[in-house]
Structure 1
């Protein structure tokens, strides 16, 4: 089936599907977007790739959970449920629970292994890399084609108009975030290329990458470095390091001219604050989340399929984003300039 025909012939759901690596990432990276979509009474699905078994615990209240992967995963799963309730999201899927057929025609049965938090190590300022030791079922070690096929099944089932995940470097280099981006890209391609189990192909019209305007992020860093913030920090918070306004920025920061869609936090501030308050520990990213100040969330957008298929999910997608045919990605490569380039699947084999 011609994927573009699937766009032309299918009734659009107006739905949004977010793909994240661990519990709390959905709120820290895309909370305002999820809350905005939910407030518009559009379908919202969050796919979580792991349960955050190797998250860092900051503070003494929950210190007993650190190092106990199963207990931490259970706790963080509860936090995730509470955060989604606050955001208004009622559809959440752990990627490793997506059932697979006995055979998919290429690599045989899908594995039943659990996808676990791969962990990370700080390798520089605002930069994470691979952990020295991987758990037995680390997400980064799982078969990427398996993970992508599972996600493609969710895409065909939910049929979202918009998919959102991290930018290619995972926001700050966390291996699970990078893999989540790669798996999402491949899943979007698979869902468009073929149907399965009675579900027709589905072309996702718009793919968004979570990002920050670098100038806004530096302004937020400067505000956090000021005395006004220091005066209100107490206990464990007072011992947290604050970012250098003049220092290096994580990969989530991009030039403002590259931003295609900005989501205003103000109308959903209460919902997002509720989602952030649900988790009581920082996980792998809570310390980062503490310094994500400002009134707006910014997203970098890709658009697939005919322009007529652009989503209306309560957040308008800017009309100037270039439309690209199936198998081609429209990517912002510099101020005011877009380029369509075929994306090689790389190691993500089907």
Structure 2
């Protein structure tokens, strides 16, 4: 009987290795004007500055939030408690001058507690609409797996449709709108696991790790100096909501070469056990591969990553750079793979090694 894929994965730093194929991925005419690239770079720098002043380390989280915000997607964060998820979300809202709401998920949380409800006014004999906390630019959905399936469904519908329905009336969510949902991997009692189809709606799933010793020492220094907790609003608004809307429109215009699109399609098809160079024994480890939404996410995040790094075109390195975050929650592993300790990152690395870069 053939052996499943070994439980190891490559060094994430290899994701930024330069492309040596000599292939040019630049458009025939510039996809964005020079001033548009400069404005995008200034927006990214300003947000990063506010984030760095509030959060110590967590560079992967910073890049994830920037890419998701620029791409107009949502993020699923997984970590043990105390790794600055709430601080990061509020820092992002402060940086863009947007509204921020935190929703603590519990088993008795109802959909109306999130999207809003109608309240009867006995004085006037009419109903008035009270919008729920989901109506904000940045929404932190803390411990989403502690809410019931009905509540999860209502929240994910709001994420997908960008609107809520209260008493038969449609209420558009603000733009930009971004959800950061968190889940704790070490406590499973009293939780409702997110179905794969619902997890697929998150653009990126980021797994946070403990800070390095030097970073944790800086956290202690900031605490003793009284600078660990910064004001909710940036001293001089870093950027505006109009800037974020501009950034998202700029991502739409980042050029994606046909060779890069074929590369993305080959990668996703390989996760399904086919592709130009199938990974041996992959079906023993992967029950369900990435969906077409995974292809769209790889391209969209690639566009955002390119723009963040000052380019108006996508290279294969942009596709590789955030491959774990885009694909780890879109692969359904078999029982044998889970029992054998095979991680999604191991599968992803095997797929990227098998598919040749253009």
Normalization by structure 1: what TM-score? 0.30
Bigger relative CO (Cα 8 Å, ≥ 6 apart): 2
- The TM-score normalised by the length of structure 2 is 0.30
